[in-house]
Amino acid sequence: MSLVKRARYHFMKDIGAPAVMRLSGAGRKKGPGRPKPGFGPGLNCAVRLKEIMTRHYFLSRYAEGAKPVAWVTSGAPVEILRPFGFYTIYPENHGALCGAQRLGPELCAEAEAHGYHQDLCSYARIDLGHFLSGKTPVGRLPRPDLLFASNNICQTVVYWYRVLAHQLKIPLLLFDTPYNFEDITENDVAYMVRQLEEMIPVLEEVSGRRFDSRKFQEMTGISRDSSFAWGEVLATMKTRPAPMTIFDAFIHLAPIVSLRGLPVALEYYHILLRELRERIEQGIGAIENERKRLMWDNIAIWYKVRDFSNLFAERGMNFVTATYTNAWAETISLMDADRPFESMARTYSLVVLNNSLDHRLQLMERLIKEYHVDGLVIHSAKSCKPYSVGQYDIKRLLMDRLGIPSVIVDADITDFRAYSEEQTRTRLEAFFETLEG
């Protein structure tokens, strides 16, 4: 690592970033401002969230050459990187940001022009398009020294990261999680533990630091506590009226994905949780006149989050739970800082997408009952085949077992070329009539 770049990074961290935050906040109103029609007051801590994520991407511009940099998939056990001081970038989180700013088709087209098919995951196409063009709404992403992926969410990340590793001539660490058809076995756990242990020499070589087991346990504990706090945040939406919507949660998910294992994520969720509990005490709902409570399945349609939020709020319908947001809280009770390798293997291999459809069906049944859900919206995402497979069967089974009205929306997570406004509106209008009937 360069001494000059390291000094520049620390200057920007201690002096530059606070100055940028002050300038970006100059003239900005405190708090969320006046509520939009159909909504209750916005969350005050959204200002703090913006500061945290802006700082994260701002400092990333200066991390290259000053700190070891890793690009990481959302389902990878990032805790093992934290003791080595890696600055972590999550291409999926960056892809969601690009999607929310409606840059998906432009960056996807860059990848497609180089031979990547339009049926490929649009997170992957955005990342490859960014890699090939350098275009990004955050200014610049640092060149990675290491790639870290896990196939517990899909196989696409493996091939996607192999392309990057080949192009960049850098190491790729893959955490391979056996699929859980029924129950995880001790042999599965031992296999995953060995993988984690064998990563340590590579991480030492790339980072130039020795492995510190005490720091590893400490950061694993912070990660566990952050995910617990995130689970408590989601649980506040069991209250009627719910103090926030799942569309809020899609945004406030960012720290648990990108900053997991760092104190800033834990601190932020304590702030958010405190505000949500105050809203519950005061009877403040996220939307006015909450009449129907809904569940969302699959990843957000990032370019439609605001539109959908308005559309449903106008009808007194609030999304109060989602399989997607729940994924970062579902297995965290298995994390144990005193047995970090074994517990990490269990925590990351038992996530919803690495389990059978029966497991997912049972999870959705539980969430529907716990959150008193009246209707289900299923996003069939062209980009995410592992998440979308079996959705028509799940829809039918939930209708048979619980009699819950549901609708399937065909779309893509970031590429709005795969979205039909007319078709979606027709389906949603029929869904609204069923709910109101």
pLDDT in tens, 297-345: 999 999 999 999 999 999 999 999 999 999 999 999 999 989 999 999 9
Please, which pLDDT band fits residue 33 given cuts at 50, 70 and 90?
low
Mean pLDDT calculated for residue range 155-174: 97
What distance in Å separates the CA atoms of residue 313 and residue 236, rounded to the nearest whole number?
18
Does residue 384 form part of some domain? yes
Residue 180, burial from CB neighbour count under 10 angstroms (0-12, 13-18, 19+): middle
pLDDT tens digits, 206-239? 999 999 999 999 999 999 999 999 999 999 999 9
CA 422 to chain centre: 28
**For the segment 266-280, what is each residue's pLDDT rounded down to a tens digit?**
999 999 999 999 999
SS3 88: strand
CB 398 within 8 A of CB 297: no
29 occurs within a structural domain: no
Q: Give buried/exposed letters for 27-47 (b at 16+ CB in 10 A, else e).
A: eeeeebeeeeebbbebbebbe
DSSP state of 28: P
Residue 371 in domain = yes
State how far the Cα of 352 lies from the Cα of 152, in Å rounded to an integer: 9
Burial of residue 334 (CB within 10 Å: 0-12, 13-18, 19+) is: middle
Residue 3 has pLDDT above 80, yes or no: yes
pTM, two decimals, is 0.94
Say if 417 falls within a structural domain.
Answer: yes
Q: Quote the percentage of the chain above a pLDDT of 70.
A: 97
Three-state DSSP class for 338? coil
Give the pLDDT score at 236: 98
Sheet holding 317-322, edge to edge: 317-322, 292-297, 375-381, 406-411
pLDDT tens-digit series, residues 64-119: 999 999 999 999 999 999 999 999 999 999 999 999 999 999 999 999 999 999 99
Residue 28 lies in a domain: no
Residue among 223, 301, 232, 297 nearest 265 (CA) = 223
**Do the domain assignments include residue 431?**
yes
Residue 377: strand, helix, or coil: strand
Determine, yes or no, domain membership for 183.
Answer: yes
**Number of structural domains found in the chain:** 1
Other Cβ atoms less than 10 A from the Cβ of 209: the count is: 15
Q: Please state, rounded to an integer, the average pLDDT across all residues of the chain.
A: 94
Instruction: Flag whether pLDDT at 31 surpasses 80.
Output: no
Phi–psi pair at 387, nearest 5 degrees: -80, -30
Confidence of residue 437 (pLDDT cuts 50, 70, 90): confident
Q: Is 27 left (phi over 0), alpha (psi -120 to 50) or beta?
A: left
| Residue 258 within a domain | yes
Q: Is 60 exceeded by the pLDDT of residue 27?
A: no
Calpha distance 5→210 (Å, rounded): 21
Q: Do residues 375 and 405 make contact, with C-beta atoms less than 8 angstroms apart? A: yes
What domain range includes position 127?
3-23+34-436
Helix 122-133 / helix 91-100 crossing angle, nearest 10 deg? 90
For the cut 60, the answer to whether the pLDDT of residue 125 exceeds it is yes
Strand partners, 89: 71
